[in-house]
């Protein structure tokens, strides 16, 4: 919880309860655990990992009243010989009843990979040995054994263990709720019942979890009609948080989540790489957006160009709540524009989720303007006037120089001596 993933824990609880309600068969009249606020508690939370105080408080607030955690995650947890006892953990407002699990017995689950029958019988024998520590004790004694993270249930191991415990005169298998019920009062911890967990993430890819959860939340605002898809993407994030996976495997699941979301975004394409010709200063630019998605998308369309003026009178224009119909529809959004110059220039086009948190798609089009602006006409006319004035002035000077040259030639002819033939 110190990693700032409070909402992820709540989401895990809610989705887990939904999965139990919809996917686990149960007898009529038997109610399954439900999250806090629905009138019933969630029962017990079982973990092999360390917990910190904020996580414990969040679990209590969510509806968990019981917890099973490793013995080394609690300072001096109470015990009756080699067996455990219940104890209160947490503050007065967020107290839960706790039991610690036996890590030595849990090692037999890992041994099942080699010889499942032997491992199951060894576990049953070790449980019987705990009985012989204090046989025929008046007070009940209990032990919790939790399979290690990453353990895959071995049918042979499970069947052999259950057979060894059936009608066993020394060890009675019970449900988790029955184990807690064996202890009507809680015991005290030596030195106080306090958690020793540091609250570290243990290699959990926290940054990737936050990023993908934020992207999915933003995508959900754009694809409001794709609720099943949003839930599937969210479940992928939860899968990447599984304690059954090593950190590299968790990162791989989250990378797959990012790729799955990118694949959805890839179904929205701004039709770019084309040229639109405007023959007058004012015209309409038709933005084409192709959607291959099976659901409608609501987005904010934004156009930017330093050579165009858009309906708002600036070089950047946005249209929120742009509805893009699903496949096979080609969406065309007409936008009125005014050119600021002639020539060819680019218009950048982007689609963002409502609120702008997620870029859905982007592209560009080239606009070729053949219109001549008033300023251009004035400059051209001015240039023509200057050119004409220069030509007239130059012509006058040339004619004046020619007349002077002619008068000089005539004067030279008048001064020459006459000759008699």
**CA atoms of 169 and 131, how far apart (whole Å):** 10
**CA atoms of 143 and 77, how far apart (whole Å):** 13
Phi, psi for residue 322 in degrees, rounded to 5: -80, 115
Q: Is the pLDDT of residue 156 over 90?
A: yes
**Residue-wise burial string across 146-184, b where 16 or more C-beta atoms lie within 10 A, e elsewhere:** bbeeebeebeebeebbeebbeeeeebeeeeeeebbeebe
Look at the pTM and tell me if it is higher than 0.85. Answer: no
> What does pLDDT average to over the chain?
85
Taking residues 155-184, report their average pLDDT.
Answer: 92
Question: Which tens digits make up the pLDDT trace of 286-342?
Answer: 999 999 999 999 999 999 999 999 999 999 999 999 999 998 788 999 999 999 888
Q: Is the pLDDT of residue 222 over 90?
A: yes
**CA atoms of 20 and 165, how far apart (whole Å):** 27
Give the confidence band of 152 by pLDDT, cuts at 50, 70, 90: confident
Q: Which residue has the higher pLDDT, 40 or 252?
A: 252
Question: Which tens digits make up the pLDDT trace of 79-98?
Answer: 888 899 999 988 777 789 99
Q: Is the pLDDT of residue 153 over 90?
A: no
Give the confidence band of 180 by pLDDT, cuts at 50, 70, 90: very high
């Amino acid at each position: 919880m110190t990693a700032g993933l409070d909402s992820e824990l709540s989401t895990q609880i809610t989705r887990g309860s939904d999965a139990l309600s919809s996917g686990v068969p149960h007898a009529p009249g038997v109610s399954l655990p439900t999250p806090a606020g629905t009138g019933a508690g969630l029962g017990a939370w079982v973990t092999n990992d360390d917990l910190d105080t904020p996580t414990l408080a969040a679990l209590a607030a969510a509806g968990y009243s019981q917890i099973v955690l490793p013995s080394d995650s609690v300072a001096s947890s109470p015990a009756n010989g080699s067996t455990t006892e219940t104890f209160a953990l947490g503050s007065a407002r967020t107290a839960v009843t706790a039991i610690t699990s036996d890590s030595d017995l849990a090692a037999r689950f890992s041994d099942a990979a080699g010889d499942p029958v032997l491992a199951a019988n060894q576990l049953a024998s070790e449980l019987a040995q705990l009985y012989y520590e204090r046989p025929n004790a008046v007070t009940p004694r209990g032990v919790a054994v939790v399979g290690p993270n990453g353990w895959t249930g071995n049918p042979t191991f499970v069947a052999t263990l259950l057979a060894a415990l059936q009608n066993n005169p020394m060890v009675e298998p019970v449900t988790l709720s029955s184990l807690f019920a064996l202890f009507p009062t809680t015991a005290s911890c030596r030195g106080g019942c306090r958690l020793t967990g540091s609250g570290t993430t243990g290699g959990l890819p926290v940054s990737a979890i936050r990023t993908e959860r934020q992207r999915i939340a933003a995508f959900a605002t754009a694809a409001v009609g794709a609720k099943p898809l949003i839930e599937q993407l969210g479940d992928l994030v939860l899968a990447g948080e599984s304690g059954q996976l090593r950190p590299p495997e968790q990162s791989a699941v989250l990378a797959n989540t990012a790729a799955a979301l990118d694949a959805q975004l890839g179904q929205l394409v701004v039709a770019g790489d084309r040229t639109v010709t405007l023959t007058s200063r004012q015209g309409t630019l038709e933005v084409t957006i192709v959607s291959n998605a099976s659901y409608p998308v609501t987005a904010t369309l934004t156009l930017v160009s330093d050579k165009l003026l858009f309906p708002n009178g600036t070089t950047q224009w946005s249209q929120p709540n742009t509805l893009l119909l699903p496949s096979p529809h080609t969406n065309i959004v007409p936008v009125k524009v005014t050119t600021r110059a002639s020539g060819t220039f680019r218009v950048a086009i982007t689609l963002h989720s409502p609120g702008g948190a997620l870029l859905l798609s982007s592209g560009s089009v080239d606009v070729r303007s053949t219109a001549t602006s008033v300023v251009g006409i004035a400059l051209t006319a001015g240039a023509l006037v200057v050119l004409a004035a220069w030509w007239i002035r130059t012509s006058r000077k040339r004619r004046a120089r020619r007349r002077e040259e002619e008068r000089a030639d005539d004067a030279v002819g008048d001064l020459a001596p006459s000759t008699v033939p």
